[in-house]
Amino acid sequence: MAVYTEVSFDEAKHFLHGLKLGTLQSMEGCSGGIENTNYFVTTDQAAYVLTLFERLTAEQLPFYLRLMKHLAVGGIPVPDPATNRDGNVVHALNGKPAAVVNRLQGKSELSPQLPHCAAVGETLARMHLVGRDFALQQPNLRGLPWWNETVPVVLPYLELTQAALLQSELAYQNHVATLSACNALPRGPIHADLFRDNVMFDTPQVAQQPPRLTGFFDFYFAGVDSWLFDIAVCLNDWCIDLTTGRTDSARSKAFLAAYESVRTLNPQERELLPAMARAGALRFWLSRLWDFYLPREASMLKAHDPVHFERVLRQRIQHPITHTELYA
C-alpha cells in the first residue's frame, strides 16, 4: 500500500462527496504494500480505504470489486466497494482507476496462534463455496504464464545457485500443470494473496474467548484458479516459522482441519498438496525478486525481502508438506 499517485485533501473531499460518503475529516497515506496507492480516509459517516490502481486497468477491476460485493452478500467478511448513482464500483481520480471500500475493524495478527489459523481456514473454505456462482471471469494474473514470462527477467540478478533453483522449480511446475490430477482440481475465484497482513481480527474482550475474524481484504490479486493454490498460499504464510521457513505442523493441522470442516479436499487435492505448496512459494519468491530488482518509484515504499520465500521453497522441496502428515 505505497503512495505512487498523490491525492490532496480537497481532491479526496470532492471525490468522496460525489459518492455520497460524507464530508472528509482526515486522510493518511498507507505504507506497507507495493501494488496500489492507498489512503485511509474518515468522513463524518464512516472510515474508508481509498485506492488508486497503478497496474490494474479499469477493464480488469470489475472482477475484483464485484467479487468482493458477491462475497459480502454471501456472508463472507470482506470490504464492500462503494457505488455511484449508476451502480458502478470503478471510479476515476487523478487519471487513475479508483475505488472506495469500508475500512474493516480490528487489526492483523502477525503472530498467529492455532485459533487464528483455524478461523482463516474455515472462512477461506466458506469463501470458496460462496464464490462458485460468481459470474465474472478473470485469470490469476500471477499464475504459471506470468512465472514463465518473469523468470528470464530476474535471472540476470541472481547468484548461480539461486538461478538454478528458480529454473528447476519452474520446469517442475510446468510439468505439474500437464498432469491430469492438476487439471481436475476444483477451481473458482481465489484470493491468491491471503497473508497475515490481509486478514483482520478483533481482540477478545474476555479471557479465553477466541479471536473473531472481521475480514479478508486486498483482493487485487484475486483470480480464477485452483482452490488448492489458495490453501497453499495460506499454509506458506500462516503456518510456518518465519525465521526458517519450516512448517509449523500444529498450525497447519488447525488450518486444514477447519477448512475441511466446511469443504473436504478431494483425492487430487490431497495428492497435489506438496506440489502446490511449492508453487505458492515460487510465486511469491518470483514476485518479490521482481519488485526488489525492478522497483517502481513511490513516495512510500517498502519492498519485501525475496530471500524469505527462497527459504520457504527450499523447505517445501526438502520437507514436502502432505495431507497424510497433517492428519497423522
Where do the structural domains in the chain lie, given as residue ranges?
9-102, 114-326
The yes-or-no verdict on residue 296 having pLDDT over 80 is: no
Task: Tell me the average pLDDT of the chain.
Answer: 93
Q: Is the predicted pLDDT of residue 198 greater than 50, yes or no?
A: yes
- Per mean pLDDT, which range of 218-222, 229-233, 315-319 is the poorest? 218-222
Mean pLDDT to the nearest integer, 123-137: 97
The burial class, CB within 10 Å (0-12 / 13-18 / 19+), for 316 is buried
Please tell me the distance from the alpha carbon of residue 144 to that of residue 312, in angstroms, as a whole number: 19
Coil/strand/helix, residue 258: helix
Mean pLDDT of 25-52: 88
The Cβ-side half-sphere exposure at 170, using a 13 Å CA radius, reads 21
Average pLDDT for residues 300-322, to the nearest whole number?
88
**Res. 299: pLDDT tops 60:** no
Residues 111, 112, 114, CA angle at the centre, nearest 5°? Answer: 145
Residue 108 clears pLDDT 80, i.e. is over it: yes
User: Given the C-alpha cell 510465486, which residue does it identify?
Assistant: 283
What one-character DSSP code corresponds to residue 17? H
Question: In angstroms, rounded to a whole number, what is the distance separating the alpha carbons of residues 246 and 111?
Answer: 15
Mean pLDDT within 191-214: 90
Whether pTM > 0.85 for this model: the answer is yes
Contacts for 214 with CB less than 8 Å, ≥ 6 apart: 77, 104, 105, 106, 200, 201, 202
State which H helix or E strand residue 301 sits in.
Answer: none
Q: Is the pLDDT of residue 1 over 50?
A: no
| Tens of pLDDT, residues 255-281 | 999 999 999 999 999 999 999 999 999
Work out the percent of the chain whose per-residue pLDDT is above 90: 84
State in words which class domain 114-326 has. Answer: alpha beta
- 89-101 average pLDDT score: 96
Question: Is residue 218 left, alpha or beta, with left meaning phi > 0 and alpha meaning psi from -120 to 50?
Answer: left
Q: How confident is residue 327, by pLDDT bands cut at 50, 70 and 90?
A: confident
Identify the H or E element spanning 120. helix 114-130
Q: What is the pLDDT of residue 298?
A: 53
Closest C-alpha to 308, from 234, 231, 243: 243
Q: The domain 9-102 belongs to what CATH superfamily?
A: Phosphorylase Kinase; domain 1 (3.30.200.20)
**Predicted confidence band of residue 297 (pLDDT cuts 50, 70, 90):** low
